[in-house]
Structure 1
Amino acid sequence: MVTGEKIQRSLMETTTAISVFDGEGIAAQGDRDLADMLRRAGNTTSNAEGGISIRGISQEGAGGGTGSPLISVQVDGVTLDTTSQSGASAELFDVAQVEVLRGAQSTSQGRNSLAGAVVVSTREPGREWEGHVRMIVTEHDAGNFAFAGGGPLSESVAFRLIGIADRDDGFITHMPGGNPNFDRTEEQMAKLKLAYEPTFLDGFDSLLTVSKDRRDGQPGYNIERGVAGSDPDQRRTSTVNERTRSLVETELVSWRNRYEINPQLTVTSITAYMSTHQDYLRDYDGLEDDGGYNVILNDGRNLTQELRLNFTDIGPYTGVVGLYTGRFKTENYTLSDGITVPSSYLLGVPPQADFLYAEIDFVSEEFTDARNIALFGEVDIALPLNLTATLGLRYDRERLDARNRFDSLRGEAFFNAPGGLQSLPLLGEPLYDLLELAFSQQQGIDILPLLIASGAAPATSGLQGGETEYSALLPKAALRYDFNDQWSTFISYAEAYRAGGVDVDSSSGEVFPFDPEYTYNYEIGLRGDLPERGLQLAANLFYIEWEDQQVPVLRGLFFNTENAANSELYGADLSLTWQPVEALTLNGSFGWVQTEFLNYTAEGEDYSGNEFIFAPDFTGSLGAVLRLGGWMASANVSHREHSFTRPSNIEDEYSEGRTLVDARLGWEGDHLSAYLFGKNLTDEDYITETYQFREGYIGAASPRGYAAYGRPRELGVQLELRY
């Protein structure tokens, strides 16, 4: 049953392209987080830091950017933000079901679901006592301990408690010392679920879920000299002199109250709260050079309320109507300290003539406060001739208050010694020595006004920004025809949007509002369910028009969002499950997509005709699970083609194509189970994303690049105890 559309439908009845993974299937393949599982969903990918793409549309947008996400990720009724997704919230232990909905979900899911949604539901408290303990030990000195259990506290109250602790020493080696545990991360999560079903009120139930997670460690990426990814000796190494660290803490609370008035009418209220905090320390130049560092603090607070009425078989009508409200606040603070700026950047002289450099300290602060309210409804109408029509409509209104501040705190000039002065063929050596001695004993020359005037340092003189308000009517329509109980086909249309906002030029303080963007989604599909042959099949063809696209444009030192592109994309999804015999289950998923900027010009570059970022043409997966007696074996092969990481589509800025092979072998008893498993068994060495800085950047005078690498082969042992 599909729950993400807010109407209880079977897979045969839904007109959304969807992959549903139950807890048993997730455990059989050994998926530990969303990134593992998404490899098995066609036209769906995940990058190095948890970002998701669906049908070629990245969470960050087709060209990247800093706007709100385009894919909604929900866990137990709480929509995660980008910070929480990089924490431990995406762990899949004790999960009941995960739904991956491809295509526009704005009518039912609303905010941040222009490209799709991922809906995660963990197991709820039961009426019998039970427990589950899992222990995993793998290479890279990694280990995981998890437990879940609970039962009834009284006739009307039950609970379930989940706890997870994870440690991973990673695969980045710090040079030159050779520390192999440089990118160690540790994660902890605790979750409590309380269910209440009073005996005096039939049809009512309440579920409170509270969770807290913490992830602390070193992000696993490289900054490399020259072209990132081109030098084998720099792969999976780091030479930073300022240790990078990322601490992410998330608190989630959801409270669901449901009352079944009668078998045809049910009222549901869902209150959700999320709090996130990220404390990020980064070496600014990324190497052993003394190029300064960043301190980044990101905080988010979200509070949402949804009230909906579901109705079933009221004449020919089955559907839902509802009201949704939410408030979403973010505070982002960045301090950049001791950032070096060479004279080649300041004055345009050749790098070999860098006779002086500047050190700058600057700060940026960004505050957003969004208020969202929506009315929505969707109804299935049973028609003659085995036809079912689906009509949906959402009125969405959002008000955003955005304020930014960019200020420089210090700017001092220093002379390089001894090479910088000697590179100037203007004066004799004695005068060089005299000048060098004189300036080397000074503390530095204040050039902050010059840096601000040249745009090398930001100064917006206080908070700048404004308030914007946008609304949209988002229709959805579909028509399904049932050939019989086993085969159906449909055609559908839906619209989606992302609200506009406000950005600020970091150099001038000028305010730039940007408008909403819209997609128009057309789809046809085929569904098959043949239980006598153990076969389920779903196939979809889609076409999407994208107007007033929000894309990043460099202004000052930072990127701003502008409505600078229009695009189109089209493709196909196919998924199937086949159980030829009771002991064997086969699964396959395939996705093909073609993306194109119809027009996109920014910073003097024309990207028209280029592909979206993180949009591989083809993705596919084949898996099998075999159970004989107490023995089980599973294997999965997933493939993802090459894609680009910037809209310029430059060949050395990419996410590398790869084929990954995972397998596990185990014995499953009534209470004790044991498994041997391997991930990336062929030890494929691949790059998940690169970005090149051919001229360097402020704080980095020489060319360099960013690279993130996939995990190497990993072998492990897993033990589970159930009671």
Structure 2
Amino acid sequence: MKSRLMMASAVGVWAVLAGSAWAEAPAATAPDAPTQVDQVVVTGEKASRSVQDTVTSVAVTTARTIEREQIRDFYDVIAKTANMSETYGKSGFTIRGVANNNVSGGGTGGLATVYVDGAAIPERAMYGGPLDMWDVGQVEIFRGPQSTLQGRNALAGAVIVRTTDPTSDWNFKVRASTASGDDRSIAFAGGGPIVADQLAFRVAFEDHTADGFIYNTTRKADDDTLDSRMIRGKLLLTPASAEGFKAIATYSRNERKSGYLYTYSRTDTPDYYDHRVTTTNSPNTSDITTDIATLEVEQKLSQRFILSGVASWSQVDLVQRYDGDLGPQTLSYGGQDEMIETSSQEVRLNYEGERLKGLVGLYHATRDAERKSASLTNVEFPRATLVSVLTGQLVSGGYPLALAQATANQFATAYIAQLPVIPVDYSSDAPELVETTAIFADGTFALTPRLSVLGGFRYDREKNTQSSVQTALFAGTYPNPANFPTAYAPFVVLVNQFVGSMVAQAGAPSPKTTREFEAFLPKIGAKYAWTDDISTSFVVQRGYRSGGTAINTARSTVVAYDPEYTWNYELSLRTYWPQWGLTANANAYYVDWTDQQVSLNLGLNAYDYQVENAGSSHLYGFEVELAQRLSAKASWYASLGHTRTEFDEFNVDTGADTRNLSGSEFPYAPHWTFSIGGDYRFGNGLVANLNANYRDRSYTEAGGEQDGRIAGERTLVNGRFGYESDRWGAYVFGKNLLNEKYSQYSREDVPVALLGEPRVLGVSLEARW
């Protein structure tokens, strides 16, 4: 850890010392004097306001940062953001320790949603969805509950991605790059007016391929290849005949073929980090196609009123295949086919008065998901369940027995030696329809020139319909009674029948279930402006995730669970120091979480899971973010995040086993995150950027023996250096320059791990006109 912290500190010292040198330049050198920080406008709270006027903790990555730090996808943004972390590889993320899907396996709704040009992206599309950063104008990450403005899937926060809008000026750009792992890409973007000052267009395209870093020694091919394409078109309409009217229409299509989202590397081979191999014989692939269409309309009614609306439609088509045994034999394999279609409509009325500023809105959305899966799965034989049946403690499948404990254990040992796993040929068809309607409001009222009150609410109604049709067949050979002692033979027959009935139970159809939920989500707070450039605020708001129904695979039942709620208490500080060109902002928070949806194993076997409201927890921490424009040539930033999470109540009672997991932490919730970076533009056209980010170690699972399930700390150092003019640029860049060796997840049953990306070196050529 010390070496990593020293490297992060070294980068920090580089930026700070450089900043000191530039800040102390003589007054006569006007170009190197501190300049005003670029004002960043955020729109994710349904109104346009600067970061300094936004009390919510928001991290903004601008187009300028995306370009200078060679940010390729959303997970590069995660790496540099305080109190964020990726989860199992690039399949999800946490905000303040709370994962975008769940923290304990429970619940089917999201806890943080990514919006691209106003369209919500389903959680399953977080791997392979439209998250590349080519021609993206801005990424806004709101930390903390956004349920008042965003609804059911924003208990942890929300991410707003805005691609570059058309303009009335002609402009184009193109980029070609190559990097380690036979990574190759070519991208184009540009547009201009169709009708001067009334109709403009913009198109963007990117083709990206890579061979990856993991070689499959069984199939003699690369296992983490990538072949993706993105195309996007946008129209901007501002007709002269309709004063104050603006409309933006967007359509994008992303096609991505790659390795399975959990592409493991063997850890029992020499030098496994630098020479990554896998031995699977069944395909490990993910094919995802995402189509998004949005229409944003705005009409300025007067100097104070603006009426706006957004309609969105998206469709995600996901086909995944995986090797379940992770070895060269055909023991376990499976796949999922999903089609998720989402449509939403929202209308808002914004008011901008002298003392009152705010909005009211209406929202409706429908998400229709078709989910099908099939697998050949080896279920570890549930020894405890068998012993309970043999001793008469558990009546299952109509076979209550009454052996002595010692005899039951002896027989169980003999039987499981011949059937250590139960092979099951399983398939499932589980459609889900979610309909949401809401009314919301948000605003501020100035009591005095310095003191304002903040408030808002959302009333949310949801209708959730789900069903499941499952089939489960025993796909192995039952133990032969003749292979056992004569006294055991009758029990072998009965246990064979018990195994068959347990498998058949997993294949029973589940009836369609419809549930309705409603929630009132208030927000209240106050803001005080000490000066024009310094303000503090305190906000209390309620977060929410709806309930639903979950399928217990082992029992083939649909189990209902209720909503969960949080109360978030947050203090913020916003400061700007014009004499130094510096912004220094901070947020501190405490969250109380009740009726938490947790996934519990009921003890029948490894697939006997269902969701219950069995948990409560709390979390607290802070973010501090600095940014300084030292001169027209130089700037730097730094951010520090701290999070502590803890389950206050997490009781697992399976009847045969009771565990109290209270006190355990959330998975992928590092206590400390830190990032720092800076760039400098030399007078001769040379440019340089250096940045680093640090993530503390974190647990990879909730509850249990967490000490054995850890993703280690890591520090990543990145850089981009090159030459550029007004029209073109040539650059060399590097990711993970120190070749930090780390893993995001490791398996206990098989010597494999999800390894972090190795050092990547590349070159790119760009042209602008």
| TM-score for both structures, normalised by structure 1 | 0.90
Identity within the alignment, %: 31
Matched, 1:592 2:642: yes
Looking at structure 1, the residues matched to 421 and 571 of structure 2 have their Cα atoms a distance apart, in angstroms, of 60
| Corresponding residue number in structure 2 for 1:480 | 527
Alpha-carbon spacing, 1:513–1:341, altered in 2? closer, same or farther (3 Å): closer
| Matched position secondary structure for 1:349 | helix
Q: Does the 8 Å contact 1:407/1:458 carry over to 2? A: no
| Matched position secondary structure for 2:231 | strand
| Corresponding residue number in structure 1 for 2:427 | 363
Q: Does the 8 Å contact 2:107/2:597 carry over to 1? A: no
Looking at structure 2, the residues matched to 614 and 341 of structure 1 have their Cα atoms a distance apart, in angstroms, of 27
Matched, 1:2 2:42: yes
Query: 1:191 pairs with 232, 251, 259, which one?
Result: 232
Q: Does the 8 Å contact 1:491/1:525 carry over to 2? A: yes
Aligned pairs for 1:556-571 within 5 A: 557=607, 559-571=609-621
Query: What is the Cα deviation at residue 631 of structure 1?
Result: 1.6
Q: Does the 8 Å contact 1:223/1:704 carry over to 2? A: no
Looking at structure 2, the residues matched to 15 and 119 of structure 1 have their Cα atoms a distance apart, in angstroms, of 16
Looking at structure 2, the residues matched to 509 and 415 of structure 1 have their Cα atoms a distance apart, in angstroms, of 25
| Corresponding residue number in structure 2 for 1:390 | 454
| Matched position secondary structure for 1:26 | helix
| 1:521 counterpart letter in structure 2 | N
Query: What is the Cα deviation at residue 456 of structure 1?
Result: 4.5
| Corresponding residue number in structure 2 for 1:284 | 324
| Matched position secondary structure for 1:581 | coil
Deviates more, 1:553-562 or 1:202-211: 553-562
| Corresponding residue number in structure 2 for 1:627 | 681
Query: 1:163 pairs with 205, 213, 223, which one?
Result: 205
Query: What is the Cα deviation at residue 238 of structure 1?
Result: 1.1
| Corresponding residue number in structure 1 for 2:712 | 656
Looking at structure 2, the residues matched to 140 and 230 of structure 1 have their Cα atoms a distance apart, in angstroms, of 22
Query: What is the Cα deviation at residue 359 of structure 1?
Result: 4.2
Query: What is the Cα deviation at residue 177 of structure 1?
Result: 7.0
| Corresponding residue number in structure 2 for 1:535 | 582
Looking at structure 1, the residues matched to 300 and 647 of structure 2 have their Cα atoms a distance apart, in angstroms, of 48
| Corresponding residue number in structure 2 for 1:451 | 499
Query: What is the Cα deviation at residue 208 of structure 1?
Result: 0.7
Query: 1:647 pairs with 661, 682, 702, which one?
Result: 702
Q: How many residues align?
A: 684
Looking at structure 2, the residues matched to 14 and 123 of structure 1 have their Cα atoms a distance apart, in angstroms, of 22
Aligned pairs for 1:385-534 within 5 A: 386-413=450-477, 450-453=498-501, 455-456=502-503, 458-534=505-581
Query: 1:611 pairs with 665, 681, 690, which one?
Result: 665
Looking at structure 2, the residues matched to 143 and 569 of structure 1 have their Cα atoms a distance apart, in angstroms, of 42
| Corresponding residue number in structure 2 for 1:375 | 439
| Corresponding residue number in structure 2 for 1:117 | 158
| Corresponding residue number in structure 2 for 1:708 | 754
Deviations 1:498-521 (A, max 9, x none): 000012322333332101000000
Deviates more, 1:170-179 or 1:292-301: 170-179
| Corresponding residue number in structure 2 for 1:440 | none
Deviates more, 1:489-498 or 1:550-559: 550-559
| 1:326 counterpart letter in structure 2 | A
| TM-score for both structures, normalised by structure 2 | 0.85
Q: Does the 8 Å contact 1:536/1:577 carry over to 2? A: yes
The answer to which structure has the higher strand fraction is 1
Alpha-carbon spacing, 1:501–1:628, altered in 2? closer, same or farther (3 Å): same
Looking at structure 2, the residues matched to 138 and 89 of structure 1 have their Cα atoms a distance apart, in angstroms, of 21
Looking at structure 2, the residues matched to 446 and 389 of structure 1 have their Cα atoms a distance apart, in angstroms, of 71
Q: Does the 8 Å contact 1:70/1:116 carry over to 2? A: yes
Looking at structure 2, the residues matched to 312 and 355 of structure 1 have their Cα atoms a distance apart, in angstroms, of 71
| Corresponding residue number in structure 2 for 1:438 | none
Alpha-carbon spacing, 1:386–1:169, altered in 2? closer, same or farther (3 Å): same
| Corresponding residue number in structure 2 for 1:247 | 287
Looking at structure 2, the residues matched to 575 and 476 of structure 1 have their Cα atoms a distance apart, in angstroms, of 25
Query: What is the Cα deviation at residue 446 of structure 1?
Result: 14
Query: What is the Cα deviation at residue 182 of structure 1?
Result: 2.5
Query: 2:591 pairs with 518, 532, 544, which one?
Result: 544
Q: Does the 8 Å contact 1:413/1:447 carry over to 2? A: no
Q: Does the 8 Å contact 1:222/1:706 carry over to 2? A: no
Alpha-carbon spacing, 1:578–1:463, altered in 2? closer, same or farther (3 Å): same
Query: What is the Cα deviation at residue 574 of structure 1?
Result: 0.4
Deviates more, 1:392-401 or 1:350-359: 350-359
Alpha-carbon spacing, 1:503–1:176, altered in 2? closer, same or farther (3 Å): closer
Looking at structure 2, the residues matched to 119 and 125 of structure 1 have their Cα atoms a distance apart, in angstroms, of 18
Query: What is the Cα deviation at residue 46 of structure 1?
Result: 1.7
Alpha-carbon spacing, 1:350–1:165, altered in 2? closer, same or farther (3 Å): farther
| 2:734 counterpart letter in structure 1 | G
Matched, 1:681 2:737: yes
Deviations 1:397-419 (A, max 9, x none): 11101112322145341679xxx
Query: 1:637 pairs with 676, 682, 692, which one?
Result: 692
Alpha-carbon spacing, 1:719–1:348, altered in 2? closer, same or farther (3 Å): farther
| Corresponding residue number in structure 2 for 1:320 | 359
Alpha-carbon spacing, 1:558–1:352, altered in 2? closer, same or farther (3 Å): closer
Alpha-carbon spacing, 1:425–1:104, altered in 2? closer, same or farther (3 Å): closer
Deviates more, 1:153-162 or 1:304-313: 153-162
Looking at structure 2, the residues matched to 146 and 163 of structure 1 have their Cα atoms a distance apart, in angstroms, of 5
| Matched position secondary structure for 1:262 | coil
Query: What is the Cα deviation at residue 220 of structure 1?
Result: 6.2
Looking at structure 1, the residues matched to 269 and 660 of structure 2 have their Cα atoms a distance apart, in angstroms, of 30
Looking at structure 1, the residues matched to 730 and 515 of structure 2 have their Cα atoms a distance apart, in angstroms, of 56
Query: 1:263 pairs with 296, 299, 303, which one?
Result: 303
Looking at structure 2, the residues matched to 606 and 230 of structure 1 have their Cα atoms a distance apart, in angstroms, of 34
| 1:138 counterpart letter in structure 2 | A
Aligned-CA RMSD value: 2.5
Deviations 1:22-46 (A, max 9, x none): 1011211111111101222110112
| Matched position secondary structure for 2:169 | coil
Deviations 1:362-400 (A, max 9, x none): 112211111100000011111215011111011011110
Looking at structure 1, the residues matched to 380 and 100 of structure 2 have their Cα atoms a distance apart, in angstroms, of 35
Looking at structure 2, the residues matched to 217 and 159 of structure 1 have their Cα atoms a distance apart, in angstroms, of 31
| Matched position secondary structure for 1:42 | coil
Q: Does the 8 Å contact 1:553/1:561 carry over to 2? A: yes
| Matched position secondary structure for 1:27 | helix
Alpha-carbon spacing, 1:88–1:220, altered in 2? closer, same or farther (3 Å): closer
Query: 2:83 pairs with 28, 31, 43, which one?
Result: 43
Deviates more, 1:181-190 or 1:267-276: 181-190
Q: Does the 8 Å contact 1:88/1:188 carry over to 2? A: no
Looking at structure 1, the residues matched to 341 and 263 of structure 2 have their Cα atoms a distance apart, in angstroms, of 31
Deviations 1:543-575 (A, max 9, x none): 000000111123562532211100001111100
Looking at structure 2, the residues matched to 211 and 596 of structure 1 have their Cα atoms a distance apart, in angstroms, of 41
Looking at structure 2, the residues matched to 637 and 446 of structure 1 have their Cα atoms a distance apart, in angstroms, of 62
Alpha-carbon spacing, 1:331–1:458, altered in 2? closer, same or farther (3 Å): farther
